[in-house]
Amino acid sequence: MTDFKARYGPWALVAGASEGLGEGFARSLARRGVNLVLVARREAKLQALARQLTSEFGVEVVARSEDLACPEAPESLLGSLDQDIGLLVFNAAYSGVGLFSEVSSTDLQKILSLNTFAPLLLARQMTPRLIARGCGGIVLMSSLSGNQGSGNIATYAASKSFNTVLAEGLWHEMKGHGVDVLACCAGAIRTPAYQSAQIGGEAPGILDPGVVAEQTLDALGSGPVVVPGTLNKLANFLMRRLLPRATAVRVMSNTTKELTR
Ligand SMILES: NC(=O)c1ccc[n+]([C@@H]2O[C@H](COP(=O)([O-])OP(=O)(O)OC[C@H]3O[C@@H](n4cnc5c(N)ncnc54)[C@H](OP(=O)(O)O)[C@@H]3O)[C@@H](O)[C@H]2O)c1
């Protein structure tokens, strides 16, 4: 834990921290003694979480309400912070569930702005700072749905694929500078967003947010991609390596067809 704080502290920024997995990341980082900048749109939730984490773990926590889907928000956010941030966890996402032929252009723009441009711009601003420090990390949240195309969430799945591939490239570029980059390709996570989008039963291998956050932070520095959970690791191997691509698309689409807004 002390090593973690020395390598990635003293401050981490968690983007999309007001609930679900983002809250899980905030809690796991606070437990490791790292101070936090928590970002999301709902300020009251962020403030309540900040108070909780400070009283439970004695860390400093700053809550910042921002809509990261706004094109200027990512760059102005980092520019306005004077904390020495050693770790960026980009967790915020918008899924815009629905058939592609019926999704509005506003939704398409929101998916791309939040899921791809925001992490891209934040990572771009962070990398020179981290190179100058000679240590630090970047975690980008991806998904097993980004391993192949997926019906009903085609744009979201493509945006998650972007995050995996971006993290792999940055991992390669940054490892010589002492900076660890990681994509977390998660399977289903028991978050409020998942629970409200899922009309059938829970997906096999579903994990609690705290477990995904812990396994992800533990994997930082051990390679470009982590898949939390044993069953998800098996599914990942099957879908990426064993099944023909068209079959993998069918299998994934079968699990995402039941998702609803
Ligand atoms: N849940 C799953 O089954 C699952 C599976 C695989 C991968 N993932 C990935 O894991 C991550 C977290 O998932 P989750 O289920 O916890 O998602 P979520 O409940 O939708 O939470 C996303 C977080 O992002 C924030 N957020 C949303 N829009 C934002 C915006 N425009 N600007 C700033 N913050 C924004 C939300 O807070 P506010 O509403 O307060 O802004 C919330 O704190 C996502 O990247 C998702 O793609 C999830």
Tell me the pLDDT of the chain (261 aa) as tens digits: 669 999 999 999 999 999 999 999 999 999 999 999 999 999 999 999 999 999 999 999 999 999 999 999 999 999 999 999 999 999 999 999 999 999 999 999 999 999 999 999 999 999 999 999 999 999 999 999 999 999 999 999 999 999 999 999 999 999 999 999 999 999 999 999 999 988 778 899 999 999 999 999 999 999 999 999 999 999 999 999 999 999 999 999 999 998 887
Catalytic-labelled residue, pool 5, 8, 94, 160: 160
Walk me through the domains of the chain, giving residue ranges and CATH numbers: 2-256 (3.40.50.720)
Token pair of 215 as six digits: 């396994």
Dihedral over Cα of 50, 54, 56, 57: its sign: positive
List all residues whose CB is within 6 A of at least one atom of ligand 1.
16-22, 40-42, 45, 66-69, 91-94, 114, 141, 143, 186, 188-189, 191-194
C-alpha span between 73 and 84 (Å, rounded): 19
Q: Do 46 and 38 contact (CB within 8 A), yes or no?
A: yes
Query: Which of 173, 83, 175 shows the shortest CA–CA distance to 135?
Result: 175
d(CA 75, CA 79): 6
Tokens coding 200? 């059938």
pTM comes to 0.98
Q: At what angle do helices 20-31 and 43-57 cross, to 10 degrees?
A: 20
